[in-house]
Amino acid sequence: MVDNMKKIIMSCVVFFCLHGVSWASKNTIPKDLQEYIKNTEDCEYLAGEWDSDLPDERKRLIEDEVNIYCKKAHESFYELKAKYKNDPKKIKIINEHSEMIKDYDDTPVE
């Protein structure tokens, strides 16, 4: 009985491990797209953190970080669109993450 239970458990472990590897290999996102996604998410997060009631020092810090992440995302947007123009799945990923950066302008706000 114990031996059968061990076999069942080991079979389940092997199945789930192999299933996970198979799924991961089919759904890999290239490193440049991962970086783009991270930059757009950081851009969006930081833009949401800004508030006119914050101390001036905190506002400047947030603005500096927004300029870093949004600028990177904005620049890579066009590069990635050109690079993956024939790959609809990747273009969809790029477009889904473009909302916060499509109007980004790196002109400093006075």
pLDDT tens string 94-104: 998 887 776 66
67 lies in some domain? yes
Q: Could you give the number of structural domains in the chain? A: 1
Whether the model clears a pTM of 0.85, i.e. scores above it, the answer is: no
52 lies in some domain? yes
Q: Can you give the residue range of the structural domain that contains 30?
A: 26-97
What is the crossing angle of helices 88-96 and 31-49, to 10°?
Answer: 20
pLDDT tens string 16-54: 555 554 444 456 889 999 999 999 999 888 888 888 898
106 lies in some domain? no
Task: Quote the tokens at residue 64.
Answer: 């500096």
